[in-house]
Amino acid sequence: MSDGRDGATRVAAGPRLLLGSPIAAEIRAGLTRDFAAFTAQWGRAPVLAIVLVGADAPSAVYLRQILRTCQKVGVEGRLVEIGSHATADAVCDEIERLNADSAVAGIIVQMPLPSHIPLHTVIDSIDPAKDIDGIHPRNAGLLSLGYDGFLPATAQASVEILKRSGIEIAGKRVVVIGRSNVVGKPAALLLMREHGTVTVLHSRTRDLAHHCRDAEILVVAAGRPGLVTGDMLSPGVVVVDVGINVVDDGEGGEKLVGDVDFESAKNVVSAITPVPGGVGPLTNALLLSHLLRAATDQAERRESERVR
Ligand code: NAP
């Protein structure tokens, strides 16, 4: 039963479910129009290059999703596959080629990279103007200073789902579990930007439950299935579960779960993002909105250099 707010559903005798798909669909509808206008104005659709070094199963699922979303909104998704034994130099050379290719508006590098390739070397080689998932130090620095760079899409999605569901962040005690550069840390910075009073927890935090119970909003991005259980939560807390974990379904197959034990949490929280169906669907839509901005900036810059 819809409660009339975007992306929110209240199930009988349960918490409000904060759903990413309706919000993502709305963003994609706008993007489809905007990419069509871009293509009409500049003569070709922008390219999103996805660099995949080696291949593992979770990457394959994610890549299928993002390539499908590209197709839906009128973007050319280009998968750049590099063998798992490639050197760091070979990966950086490929990224340099994409940096120099004017058809390519955005570049994302699929993580994790093989262990012999230093992450920073690869991240540093991406042109910050094409770094649409905000992992380059320039964009990370802009975020920390409150300037307008490219935001890491998952972190942005975890905040956007709250805002678009009408949940007030300003003044609230917000607790974030996880401090990675791609999710926890940027989410904490964005929540501070929204005037939340933010506490960040991590693997060395003593008494996780104590801090969780203090939260009015809890964002969990630890990659540990079942880390947060209902007894660690205060009644009425709003929970954003960013975790995506593949676990045994007990019937010989596999299923996706978050970091929060939904069954024990559902009777305590006032609202929660389900996994799957919460933050995940929003991430790709936001990533493609960054691509539109990157493509437009680059096309306008080329045009102004041409007429100068
Ligand atoms: P990550 O790099 O492994 O970072 C995990 C963070 O959680 C670290 O800061 C770690 O602390 C902390 N942590 C781990 N175990 C903990 C524990 N027992 N107690 C408290 N903190 C703990 O993972 P990530 O890339 O940030 O991803 C986090 C989760 O989000 C994963 O499940 C991932 O699959 C998911 N994800 C979802 C999306 C989406 O679209 N929804 C996109 C990307 C990632 P330390 O810093 O002390 O090690």
DSSP letter at 276 equals T
Q: Which atom of ligand 1 is nearest to the CA of 275?
A: 41
Q: Which atom of ligand 1 is nearest to the CA of 158?
A: 41
Q: Please tell me whether residues 177 and 271 are part of one structural domain.
A: yes
CA 231 to chain centroid, in Å, comes to 28
CATH of the domain at 59: 3.40.50.10860
* Candidate of 21, 65, 159, 179 to mutate for ligand 1, largest count of ligand atoms within 8 Å of Cβ: 179
Is residue 184 in a domain? yes
Q: Please tell me whether residues 198 and 136 are part of one structural domain.
A: no
Is residue 127 in a domain? yes
Is residue 93 in a domain? yes
According to DSSP, the β-strands at 217-220 and 173-177 are parallel
Cα of 221 to ligand 1 centre, how many Å?
5
Among 72, 105, 140, where does a domain finish? Answer: 140
Q: Which atom of ligand 1 is nearest to the CA of 283?
A: 40
Which two structure tokens, joined as six digits, stand for 274? 């389900």
Cα of 281 to ligand 1 centre, how many Å?
18
Please enumerate, as own/partner, the contacts of 90-96 that have beta carbons within 8 Å and a separation of 24 or more. Answer: 91/51, 91/53, 91/117, 91/122, 91/125, 92/121, 92/122, 92/125, 94/51, 95/51, 95/122, 95/125, 95/126, 96/125
Domain count of the fold of the chain: 2
The pLDDT assigned to 9 comes to: 54
Q: Please tell me whether residues 169 and 238 are part of one structural domain.
A: yes
* Candidate of 59, 110, 202, 241 to mutate for ligand 1, largest count of ligand atoms within 8 Å of Cβ: 202
Cα of 260 to ligand 1 centre, how many Å?
12
Q: Please tell me whether residues 210 and 252 are part of one structural domain.
A: yes
Q: Please tell me whether residues 201 and 117 are part of one structural domain.
A: no
What gap in Å lies between CA 228 and CA 269, rounded to an integer? Answer: 12
CA dihedral 100, 102, 103, 108 (to 10 degrees): 50
Nearest alpha carbon to residue 185 among 221, 132, 214: 221
**Which residues are CB-contacts of 83 (< 8 A; sequence separation ≥ 6)?**
53, 54
Q: Which residues does residue 109 pair with via DSSP β-bridges, in sequence order?
A: 51
The pLDDT assigned to 64 comes to: 87
Q: Please tell me whether residues 171 and 222 are part of one structural domain.
A: yes
Name residues contacting ligand 1 (CB within 6 A). 154, 177-180, 182-184, 201-205, 208, 221-224, 227, 242-245, 279-280, 283
Identify the burial level of 293 via C-beta atoms within 10 angstroms of its C-beta, where 0-12 means exposed, 13-18 middle and 19 or more buried: middle
Is residue 208 in a domain? yes
Q: Please tell me whether residues 195 and 268 are part of one structural domain.
A: yes
What amino acid occupies position 91?
V
Among 106, 140, 174, where does a domain finish? Answer: 140
Phi, then psi, of 239 in degrees rounded to 5: -115, 130
Domain around 233: 7-18+165-280
- Per the rule left: phi > 0, alpha: psi between -120 and 50, beta: everything else, 81 is beta
Is residue 298 in a domain? no
The pLDDT assigned to 55 comes to: 80
In a structure prediction context, what are the per-residue pLDDT tens digits for the chain, which is 308 residues long? 444 444 555 545 689 999 999 999 999 999 999 999 999 999 999 999 999 999 876 677 788 889 999 999 999 999 999 999 999 999 999 999 999 999 999 999 999 899 999 999 999 999 999 999 999 999 999 999 999 999 999 999 999 999 999 999 999 999 999 999 999 999 999 999 999 999 999 999 999 999 999 999 999 999 999 999 999 999 999 999 999 999 999 999 999 999 999 999 999 999 999 999 999 999 999 999 999 999 999 999 999 999 88
Q: Which atom of ligand 1 is nearest to the CA of 243?
A: 32
Q: Which residue's entry shows tokens 């678009």?
A: 164
Among 92, 107, 140, where does a domain finish? Answer: 140
CA distances from 164 to 5, 31, 157 (A): 8, 17, 10
Is residue 176 in a domain? yes
Using DSSP's 3-state secondary structure scheme, residue 212 falls into helix
Identify the burial level of 104 via C-beta atoms within 10 angstroms of its C-beta, where 0-12 means exposed, 13-18 middle and 19 or more buried: buried
**Which residues are CB-contacts of 278 (< 8 A; sequence separation ≥ 6)?**
17, 18, 19, 20, 161, 240, 241, 258, 272
- pTM of the predicted protein model: 0.94
Q: Please tell me whether residues 115 and 208 are part of one structural domain.
A: no
Residue 49 CB neighbours (<10 A): 23
Q: Please tell me whether residues 130 and 175 are part of one structural domain.
A: no
Cis before 112 (ω within 30): yes
The pLDDT assigned to 1 comes to: 40
Is residue 147 in a domain? no
The residue whose CA has the least distance to atom 43 of ligand 1 is 154
Q: Please tell me whether residues 198 and 268 are part of one structural domain.
A: yes
Is residue 201 in a domain? yes
Q: Please tell me whether residues 100 and 206 are part of one structural domain.
A: no
The pLDDT assigned to 156 comes to: 98
Cα of 34 to ligand 1 centre, how many Å?
33
N-term to C-term CA, the chain: 57
Q: Please tell me whether residues 121 and 199 are part of one structural domain.
A: no
